[in-house]
Structure 1
């Protein structure tokens, strides 16, 4: 039914109800209708009709969705009818110096009954019609018998078209056990979920406790996932109450929900002073981390954001996304450029004069870079050097290099090139007015080319899911968390620091694969897991800092500073010159050897021809 037709129907229905109610009220008391009474009835009828519609419009009676009518709608009807009758009483008092309270009270009762009954009967009619539709129903258990659980249960009961039938609540509040909400019984605590699912053949679980902490929420969701039943989570209660979301917006559980990491709280004031009204440049802006940094930076209203990237399509996508979602006051400048183009990097710095640079452009795939080491060197080392030296020359106030845990004791060329890039930044920081900083963290969930999208694709294909080794572990955090901490670390820089993000506890990759299989709706054993062996350059365990680099104190929640030792400018130049001319095998040996050393003693011999592997040198 169209809105116009719906309003017309309600207006006509309510007009008949209002007039019938007041005539009925007076007729019961005076069936003969004397002349004086007829004048009162006519005057009162006009008053209540006009007054009712004005008051009803004020209380939103014609904006309600009556198929979901509940206590709130009944309260609105009560207010409308009561205020309307008070208006009639006031008019009678003014015009006739008398108020027929018995007739008005009777009218009030009849009007409440008919208006309320018409709305609720509509809900009953719609509900009956929906229940008559043959829709396969999944048995659903709702975790949480609070306000959120009640809202979602009511919507499921009123809308069989969703194909879900709530059969029970589970709640840890022992005072609620045995009670019912909307006819659905509240059973035991959430630690009984596995037994309950098996006993009642549950098809789906809905977690409806939006007030839980992330750690408790993760623990509860893990328990639900172990049942092998499809699990969904509910949006925050504020969104549901304001009508912004409905049952259709329930989310499937994501692997991020199982990390249990508390929300990152930023120093908003410090970040605003660093970003608001400034020109921000992000290299690698089309990548997973780079694009998320773009999104996060835009929350702080910079004047201009320069998106630098080599991939045309990825820059196009983030450019279009930002233009559709952010304030038009922020100028977005997409730039297709390769960080290996030194002249172009200097030109961009002079043209846009950025206040902050987030350098996220890098080759990051370990096995791929093992096969293409020169490309890793050109992009990760020389590309970083170009952008950083351009920033130094042009006096950019702040520069942040996005690094990786693979730069710690690297066993692969990707990690070694990122560690050498860190050293370049540290060396520049010694004499530059630019505040250079490095931010080092582990894997981010769902980034392009990472293990999560690979596992999802393999599961969709029916398996097998390939894991390199049953003991392989990695640190993980969400893309948004990593990006926010990168931005926060940039505000803490004094120059030359290697900031390390708290990644929590490492996760076994095989456990990650098993969890994803369950989240996809499969039982253990239905999708095979195959161990393919460690690939070239991979380690079983990743580290965030060398033991000698560790500092126990946080400089900010989830951020601490490592004591990573830089090399000298002389050593740096020596290595850079070597990288341009030596064979690939020697290049890899130089970089991996250098990145794993502890310190260097510079000698005149070193300045000329002594190779970095010389025994007389103390290792970095």
Structure 2
């Protein structure tokens, strides 16, 4: 029957609500008079009945005027209660006035009791109906816990209560005084009781909704936002032991604006897993080297290159040249940036250019055509095992691609050239790291050879969220039921997010004077096995171990891959210097003369033309790169002598292309 009532037309339901209010008001009036007289009281004459009837009619009209009947019972808010209160007070005033007019004055106690009963009966019927409507829906919702009791958490609870998927069943706080209190009729528990609460209330998820109010436990000595970070990490450490997923929700501002929905619950951000504060952005430093300039990004469609473009476009350059060899990647990033420029009304020329950094003439032509002033060179092969298997292509792209692009920048009159390097360039044990260190030597030598173009390098650690990053790989493996593959129990890495890496590159590039290597103070390195375990626990699962043979996900150690090191470093020397940015260091690493570097490049070019992988490896080992190769598998290019012999027997018109002449020319 109740379901039939819910299916009635809106007008019919409003008329039934009016009738219900009339009955409730009449009953409240009769009850107040009966209580005063202590008997079952009926009006003795028509004047008393008229007072009753007129009061009910006038009150209903007041409710209509106040808009009470436009409120949907399912979503009845606090404002409706205020409306009922105002209507009840007005009804008392009408009752007093009508009783005076007909000459049957009522005692003050009757007016007070009537006002209270009118409010209770009219409001109670609505709240009762709302509870009946919402109760079946709440039973079907998943109970969740919310970490935090600030404004963000309260607004999230309200949004969830009006949604269709989740029901807020508990708040968690670190404050001892908040334990067993109520917020919005939802119990609050200290986070130390989280495991018991999750079990007893049957919570399916725990959602993070922390804001600045929750992080006020900071000490005055803590600076740079580290206190809020430590507070968040303290929370995550407590939640790791729970048997349910710990996830984050869209921002409340996003929910209010309609850009995202509550159902868009996501796994924890990479920043939550890093355990350190993000790099602070010096906006003045960023705009100083970019605003109003013509900027070119090579490898614009890659992970780092694309983020560089996103950061650069917000600094309002005059022109942004997107240089990329992949047609699809170029199409994607150009489309994204054009949408960003349109939405933020940025007056910027976007120039998508297809091309390879191995074509020097193409680079010179593009830089000259668009009067490029700053180049960010992100085009490179960065996947260690792949470059280890494809040595010649790694050398061509990472070394010669950097050289040709840098020479093109000099010829085109570019004022600044910034190379995106890697921590694997420090005492490299793989070909990728060796090629990136050699690329650094090339730029150092070019910086000393001329003064027109300022060359600098920015070196950072692993980028989370990029192609090949361990975090999305681990997340995918966990969702598929495992195992999670880690190369070694003790392997550690420095980590940063893609936006952090891009901001570092842009800020460091602006500070360059020529030949410097900039590195980020990235805090302590992260143990990959610990990161994997943290992700398993925070996704509500347990690790298979000797003590827990019935766990959900197994961590399997596969052994170090070719060229992989247990520990990475950011500096070759031990005397880094400070810069204008508190989290950016500068080092002047060992450099070689241009004569030495040019001779090494010539030998590498000849070895590449002859497909002589062994010779390339030997040249990299003998060069002052600190390269100490680990044992290498057979490369895809390792049939050196056979290919070289075959190449010498081919006609001239089908000989392999000469990188030294054709690529540069």
2:491 maps to 1:468:
no
The residue number in structure 1 matching 2:165 is 162
Name the CA distance, whole Å, in 2 between partners of 1:19 and 1:199: 44
Deviation at 1:419, TM superposition (A): 0.9
The residue number in structure 1 matching 2:153 is 149
Deviation at 1:247, TM superposition (A): 3.5
Name the CA distance, whole Å, in 2 between partners of 1:535 and 1:396: 39
2:416 maps to 1:391:
no
The residue number in structure 2 matching 1:174 is 176
Unpaired segments ≥5 residues, structure 1: 89-101, 599-620
**Structure 1 residues 210 and 570, CA, compared in 2 at 3 Å: closer, same or farther?**
same
Q: What secondary structure sits across from 1:377 in the alignment?
A: helix
1:423-466 deviation line (CA, Å, top 9, x unaligned): 22222333232332211001011210232333334334433332
When normalised by structure 2's length, the TM-score is 0.73
Name the CA distance, whole Å, in 2 between partners of 1:469 and 1:596: 26
Deviation at 1:184, TM superposition (A): 3.3
**Structure 1 residues 129 and 555, CA, compared in 2 at 3 Å: closer, same or farther?**
same
Q: Tell whether the 8 Å contact from 2:25 to 2:121 is kept in structure 1 after alignment.
A: no
Q: Which moved more, 1:115-124 or 1:142-151?
A: 115-124
Q: What secondary structure sits across from 2:601 in the alignment?
A: helix
Name the CA distance, whole Å, in 1 between partners of 2:518 and 2:192: 40
Q: Which moved more, 1:414-423 or 1:145-154?
A: 145-154
Name the CA distance, whole Å, in 2 between partners of 1:285 and 1:566: 29
Name the CA distance, whole Å, in 2 between partners of 1:18 and 1:183: 27
Q: Which moved more, 1:265-274 or 1:142-151?
A: 142-151
Q: Tell whether the 8 Å contact from 1:409 to 1:595 is kept in structure 2 after alignment.
A: no
Deviation at 1:10, TM superposition (A): 10
Name the CA distance, whole Å, in 1 between partners of 2:229 and 2:320: 32
2:539 maps to 1:536:
no
Name the CA distance, whole Å, in 2 between partners of 1:561 and 1:10: 73
1:326-351 deviation line (CA, Å, top 9, x unaligned): 33643322222111111111111011
The residue number in structure 1 matching 2:382 is 364
Q: What secondary structure sits across from 1:305 in the alignment?
A: strand
Q: Tell whether the 8 Å contact from 1:17 to 1:114 is kept in structure 2 after alignment.
A: no
Q: What secondary structure sits across from 1:346 in the alignment?
A: helix
Deviation at 1:277, TM superposition (A): 3.1
Match of 2:586 among 561, 572, 583: 561
Deviation at 1:311, TM superposition (A): 1.5
Q: Tell whether the 8 Å contact from 2:300 to 2:323 is kept in structure 1 after alignment.
A: yes
Instruction: State how many pairs are aligned.
Output: 568
The residue number in structure 2 matching 1:418 is 436
Q: What secondary structure sits across from 2:306 in the alignment?
A: helix
**Structure 1 residues 120 and 320, CA, compared in 2 at 3 Å: closer, same or farther?**
farther
1:176-226 deviation line (CA, Å, top 9, x unaligned): 2222234433233x2443455467664322222233423321331233133
Q: Tell whether the 8 Å contact from 2:239 to 2:538 is kept in structure 1 after alignment.
A: no
Q: Tell whether the 8 Å contact from 2:274 to 2:526 is kept in structure 1 after alignment.
A: no
The residue number in structure 2 matching 1:407 is 425
Q: Tell whether the 8 Å contact from 2:146 to 2:168 is kept in structure 1 after alignment.
A: no
Name the CA distance, whole Å, in 1 between partners of 2:65 and 2:78: 23
2:335 maps to 1:354:
no
Name the CA distance, whole Å, in 2 between partners of 1:392 and 1:561: 24
The residue number in structure 2 matching 1:607 is none
1:297-317 deviation line (CA, Å, top 9, x unaligned): 222233332211111222222
The residue number in structure 2 matching 1:126 is 133
**Structure 1 residues 14 and 308, CA, compared in 2 at 3 Å: closer, same or farther?**
farther
The residue number in structure 1 matching 2:204 is 203
The residue number in structure 2 matching 1:380 is 398
Match of 1:276 among 284, 288, 291: 291
Deviation at 1:236, TM superposition (A): 4.3
Q: Tell whether the 8 Å contact from 2:515 to 2:588 is kept in structure 1 after alignment.
A: no
1:450-493 deviation line (CA, Å, top 9, x unaligned): 32333334334433332222111111111111112211112222
Match of 2:356 among 338, 345, 358: 338
Q: Tell whether the 8 Å contact from 1:381 to 1:417 is kept in structure 2 after alignment.
A: yes
Q: Tell whether the 8 Å contact from 2:150 to 2:211 is kept in structure 1 after alignment.
A: no
The residue number in structure 2 matching 1:481 is 500
Q: Tell whether the 8 Å contact from 1:281 to 1:306 is kept in structure 2 after alignment.
A: yes
2:494 maps to 1:491:
no
**Structure 1 residues 245 and 579, CA, compared in 2 at 3 Å: closer, same or farther?**
closer
Q: Tell whether the 8 Å contact from 1:17 to 1:111 is kept in structure 2 after alignment.
A: no
**Structure 1 residues 383 and 119, CA, compared in 2 at 3 Å: closer, same or farther?**
farther
1:276-309 deviation line (CA, Å, top 9, x unaligned): 3332211111111111111122222333322111
Unpaired segments ≥5 residues, structure 2: 1-7, 28-32, 34-42, 95-107, 216-227, 545-551, 628-665
**Structure 1 residues 143 and 458, CA, compared in 2 at 3 Å: closer, same or farther?**
closer
Name the CA distance, whole Å, in 2 between partners of 1:574 and 1:471: 40
Name the CA distance, whole Å, in 1 between partners of 2:205 and 2:274: 22
Name the CA distance, whole Å, in 2 between partners of 1:424 and 1:65: 71
The residue number in structure 2 matching 1:547 is 573
**Structure 1 residues 140 and 597, CA, compared in 2 at 3 Å: closer, same or farther?**
closer
The residue number in structure 2 matching 1:140 is 144
Name the CA distance, whole Å, in 1 between partners of 2:309 and 2:543: 39
Name the CA distance, whole Å, in 2 between partners of 1:83 and 1:199: 44
When normalised by structure 1's length, the TM-score is 0.77
Q: What secondary structure sits across from 2:134 in the alignment?
A: helix
Match of 1:233 among 230, 248, 251: 248
1:488-528 deviation line (CA, Å, top 9, x unaligned): 11222222221101222111222222233334443111322
**Structure 1 residues 524 and 12, CA, compared in 2 at 3 Å: closer, same or farther?**
same
Name the CA distance, whole Å, in 1 between partners of 2:285 and 2:535: 38
